[in-house]
Structure 1
């Protein structure tokens, strides 16, 4: 299976679990609507250039940060923090589902989900088989 397809399925699963958790936690619809696109404010980092922009955007679009936020919210018994983390995870999952990925510092449209295949030919000197059979 294509890795992009796997990442999209993973995004769909994250979105479903986050929305289910939000619903089961009794989160208000207004908070979900207000926070749904909040992680995209990280695109403002691109005002400082693509290197800083990709760093800020990727920080806001990895599952690690909202997972830690949710764990802290759970640890201190703060349900609103958990709801924020669930919306954040859901946002990232939705992004992955529709094909948006982590950004490369080379440009906003270069992501880990949009890597273009290069047509390459392997010369005998680059072949792993040739390397394995070459006398040493």
Structure 2
């Protein structure tokens, strides 16, 4: 089941890459520069695993980018490249098994235990 979930995330990532490059014609340079920016949220782990999990999960959950996407759509605005990159980052992480973190250990995620 874990492999199926990872494949689903990977397919969604491919769909967003298609939108990014072919529908919106956004720059690959910005994608390369910004794709790992959300990982800055892991800095909370320098304090402790609980704070780290909260900061990481706040940025790696679909909640905030989805709210922003809904606001863009309600305001009749075009989707921005950084919002697509944010979604792509989350999907990339999830397809690799880096899910939302539990507070006990960075490697303990909602998808898998990374230390197995």
Equivalent position to 1:108, from 100, 106, 109: 106
The structure where strand makes up a greater share of residues is: 1
Q: Which has the larger radius of gyration?
A: 1
Counterpart-to-counterpart distance in 2, 1:83 and 1:102: 23
Q: Which moved more, 1:64-73 or 1:46-55?
A: 64-73
Deviation at 1:58, TM superposition (A): 0.8
Counterpart residue number, 1:11: 9
2:65/2:86 contact within 8 Å kept: yes
Q: Provide the C-alpha distance between the structure 1 equivalents of 2:113 and 2:104, rounded to a whole number of angstroms.
A: 12
Q: Residues 77 and 84 (structure 1 numbering): CA distance in 2 closer, same or farther, change over 3 Å?
A: farther
Alignment of 1:1-136 (within 5 A): 2=1, 4-23=2-21, 24-79=23-78, 82-115=80-113
CA contact (8 A) 1:70 1:86 kept: no
CA contact (8 A) 1:62 1:92 kept: yes
Change (3 A) 1:6 1:19: same
- Count of residue pairs brought into register by the alignment: 113
Shift of 1:73: 3.0
Counterpart CA distance in 2 for 1:70 and 1:83 is: 11
Q: CA RMSD in A?
A: 1.9
Q: CA deviation at 1:54?
A: 0.2
Structure 1 unaligned residues grouped into runs of 5+? 117-136
